[in-house]
């Protein structure tokens, strides 16, 4: 990384300070002090941090620090009176006050980055997984006292995002070189070779703390998603957890949607594996025959182009699961076998991918094996604790197995994590089903009705709403949903309902069975 200010250039890769092209002689600790202040130029650097970074935390005298500051100022043609470059904030620390800009990053080629294991990693090309850099947040207002949040929060986000196996995350050591109050997306793309950038601000005013997050595409220069979080400064840890969880949930939705939108601009014959996979996702969540067939074709393209693409195999498992779950086939047993086989291929290729484990877990629903389903879904959510769809599927399993309290908590969490999820309607309906298993029919009808009315809700969601309303005594509303079900799939039966939702509790199963019979489903 090379920084420029006035006629100086500070080359971190070569540990050189140049003025008007001429090399300036500086001692290593003096150079390190200048570099630290320039890199952290958007904030005050405390004396304690200087001791930690320059002397590795060793105890040294104040005179040693004063000597290095004096030498740094001398190298820059500054002094303690003018303080044109290095300003002393008495009793607190130092700030670099000149305007500095980044020239280039000589430590990597523009198409390369560094992964979190410290190894060189080639930046993703068009047919690789999406890539993102999380930049240090910018401090505003009175946030100097809380400056640790501006670095600590994005650092935690990098650690959490690194658990998403489908996403390439540039390491902190590289992304934190790009500090400043403005984000030049073209420069981020050039230096780090990433497609996405997450940046933010931390602002403190009195006792109030506000954090903003912004996800942008570095190539198009457009903001894809942004949000603002606020609370008391003493609630920072609760806010930190909320922000980390929400950001991960949003990225799971926003990046795939953006990738699919970009893929649609390509000619159909020019779809690479990643684009085909994401286009498939646009169809798979619509839960109808036509879109499911389109998803199968696209996931098949992805596998053909890249047989080692674990998520594409998992996508095919999703297709076969849906065929069986929705009764869109004349041979359900064969579809279960295919769903399991595709999921197993995904697991063999990448056992640590949450989506792969998610698809494997759901294949066991189809055989009413809720214990094995739960084991795989728990694995998916342990690999990525903020994986909203995994948490939602786990809640479905818990609800059907009779663990309603656990299901309720997981459903609430999944809806908080991903309020724009393509399966949000199913989260609402699952909440309704959970209330049914608790005998809370009035609440069940409200939640199930909301789910059935939500965009994208498939026919089985409408059938849950019909059952819930019938149990709650809302007969007219129940008949409306039953008529909607028959209009969409005339041949749907009680057996179809319980095959898709293998309710374990015999008492609750009998109640639902009676409600279905009363509505004419035999």
The 10s digit of each residue's pLDDT in 187-223 is: 888 888 889 999 999 888 888 888 999 999 998 888 9
**What global pTM score does this model have?**
0.66
CA distance linking residue 354 with residue 160, whole number of Å: 13
Q: Assess whether 45 and 92 both reside in one domain.
A: yes
pLDDT in tens, 469-494: 999 999 999 999 999 999 999 999 99
**Contact present, 44 and 147 (Cβ < 8 Å):** yes
Q: Which residue has the tokens 């004349």?
A: 330
Domain-embedded: residue 249: no
CA distance linking residue 249 with residue 245, whole number of Å: 6
Q: What is the pLDDT of residue 119?
A: 36
For position 508, which CATH number holds? Answer: 1.25.40
Q: Assess whether 424 and 359 both reside in one domain.
A: no
Domain-embedded: residue 260: no
Q: Assess whether 305 and 346 both reside in one domain.
A: yes
Domain-embedded: residue 405: no
Domain-embedded: residue 115: yes
Number of domains observed in the structure of the chain: 4
**Alpha-carbon distances, residue 126 vs 70, 195, 270 (angstroms):** 50, 10, 11
Q: Assess whether 313 and 379 both reside in one domain.
A: yes
Angle, helices 273-284/310-325, rounded to nearest 10 degrees: 20
List the beta bridge partners of residue 201: 138, 212
Q: Assess whether 137 and 233 both reside in one domain.
A: yes
For position 38, which CATH number holds? Answer: 1.10.10.10
Q: What is the pLDDT of residue 374?
A: 95
Burial annotation 210-222 (CB, 10 A radius, 16+ → b, else e): bbbbbbbbbeeee
CA distance linking residue 508 with residue 447, whole number of Å: 17
Across the chain, mean pLDDT equals 86
Count of residues making up the chain: 522
Domain-embedded: residue 435: yes
**With bands split at pLDDT 50, 70 and 90, how would you rate the model's confidence at 378?**
very high
Q: What is the pLDDT of residue 115?
A: 39
For position 299, which CATH number holds? Answer: 1.25.40.10
Phi, psi (deg, nearest 5) at residue 182 = -130, 150
- Residue 43 DSSP code: S
CA distance linking residue 276 with residue 270, whole number of Å: 9
CA distance linking residue 198 with residue 228, whole number of Å: 13
Q: Is the pLDDT of residue 247 over 80?
A: yes
Q: What is the pLDDT of residue 399?
A: 93
**With bands split at pLDDT 50, 70 and 90, how would you rate the model's confidence at 392?**
very high
**With bands split at pLDDT 50, 70 and 90, how would you rate the model's confidence at 113?**
very low
Q: Assess whether 112 and 235 both reside in one domain.
A: yes
List the beta bridge partners of residue 217: 196, 222
Q: What is the pLDDT of residue 146?
A: 66
Q: What is the pLDDT of residue 126?
A: 40
Q: What is the pLDDT of residue 123?
A: 39
The residue range of the domain holding 25 is 2-102
Q: What is the pLDDT of residue 270?
A: 67
Q: Assess whether 186 and 86 both reside in one domain.
A: no
Reduced to 3 states, what is the DSSP secondary structure of residue 503?
Answer: coil
Q: Is the pLDDT of residue 104 over 70?
A: no
CA distance linking residue 354 with residue 344, whole number of Å: 13
CA distance linking residue 325 with residue 423, whole number of Å: 15
pLDDT in tens, 84-99: 999 998 878 899 998 8
Kindly tell me the sign of the dihedral angle through the C-alpha atoms of 376, 381, 382, 387.
positive
Cα 391–Cα 397–Cα 403 angle in degrees, nearest 5: 100
Domain boundary among 72, 102, 132: 102
Q: Is the pLDDT of residue 121 over 60?
A: no
Q: Assess whether 55 and 135 both reside in one domain.
A: no
Q: Tell me how crowded residue 417 is: count the other CB atoms within 10 A of its CB.
A: 24
Phi, psi (deg, nearest 5) at residue 223 = -85, 125
Domain-embedded: residue 403: no
Q: Tell me how crowded residue 458 is: count the other CB atoms within 10 A of its CB.
A: 20
Q: What is the pLDDT of residue 111?
A: 35
Domain-embedded: residue 176: yes
Q: Assess whether 75 and 56 both reside in one domain.
A: yes
Q: Assess whether 273 and 378 both reside in one domain.
A: yes
């Amino acid at each position: 990384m090379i920084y420029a200010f006035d006629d100086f250039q500070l080359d971190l890769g070569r540990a050189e300070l140049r003025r008007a092209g001429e090399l300036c002689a500086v001692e290593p600790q003096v150079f390190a002090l200048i570099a630290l202040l320039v890199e952290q130029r958007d904030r005050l650097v405390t004396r304690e941090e200087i001791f930690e970074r320059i002397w590795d935390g060793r105890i040294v005298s104040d005179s040693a620090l004063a000597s290095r500051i004096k030498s740094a100022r001398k190298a820059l043609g500054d002094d303690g009176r003018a303080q044109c470059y290095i300003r002393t904030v008495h009793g607190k620390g130092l700030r670099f006050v000149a305007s500095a800009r980044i020239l280039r990053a000589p430590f990597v080629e523009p198409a390369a980055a560094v992964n979190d294991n410290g190894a060189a990693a080639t930046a993703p090309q068009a047919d690789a997984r999406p890539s993102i850099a999380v930049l240090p947040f910018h401090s505003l207002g009175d946030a100097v006292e809380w400056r640790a949040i501006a670095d600590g929060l994005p650092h935690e986000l990098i650690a959490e995002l690194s658990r998403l196996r489908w996403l390439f995350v540039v390491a902190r050591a590289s992304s934190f070189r790009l500090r400043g109050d403005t984000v030049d997306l073209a420069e981020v793309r050039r230096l780090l070779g990433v497609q996405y950038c997450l940046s933010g601000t931390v602002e403190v005013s009195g006792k109030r703390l506000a954090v903003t997050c912004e996800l942008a595409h570095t190539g198009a220069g457009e903001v894809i998603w942004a949000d603002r979080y606020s609370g008391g400064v003493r609630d920072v840890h609760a806010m930190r957890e909320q922000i980390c969880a929400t950001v991960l949930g949003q990225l799971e939705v926003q990046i795939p949607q953006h990738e699919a939108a970009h893929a649609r601009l390509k000619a159909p014959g020019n779809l690479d594996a990643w684009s085909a996979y994401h286009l498939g996702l646009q169809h798979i969540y619509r839960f109808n025959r036509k879109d499911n067939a389109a998803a199968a074709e696209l996931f098949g393209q992805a596998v053909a182009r890249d047989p080692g693409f674990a998520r594409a195999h998992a996508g095919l498992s999703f297709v076969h699961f849906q065929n069986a779950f929705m009764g869109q086939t004349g041979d359900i047993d064969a579809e279960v076998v295919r769903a399991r086989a595709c999921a197993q291929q995904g697991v063999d290729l990448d056992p640590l991918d949450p989506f792969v484990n998610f698809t494997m877990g759901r294949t066991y629903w189809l055989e009413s094996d809720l214990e094995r389903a739960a084991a795989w879904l728990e694995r998916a959510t342990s690999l990525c604790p903020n994986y909203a769809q995994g948490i939602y599927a786990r809640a479905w399993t818990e609800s059907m197995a009779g663990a309603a309290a656990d299901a309720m908590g997981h459903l609430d969490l999944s809806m908080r994590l991903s309020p724009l999820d393509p399966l949000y309607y199913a989260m609402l309906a699952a909440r309704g089903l959970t209330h049914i298993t608790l005998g809370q029919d009035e609440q069940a009808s409200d939640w199930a009705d909301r789910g059935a009315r939500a965009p994208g809700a498939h026919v089985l969601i409408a059938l849950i709403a019909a059952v819930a309303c019938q149990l709650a005594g809302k007969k007219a509303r129940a008949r409306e949903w039953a008529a909607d079900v028959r209009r969409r799939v005339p041949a749907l039966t009680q057996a179809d309902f319980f095959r898709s939702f293998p309710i374990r509790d015999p008492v609750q199963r009998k109640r639902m069975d009676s409600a279905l019979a009363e509505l004419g489903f035999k």
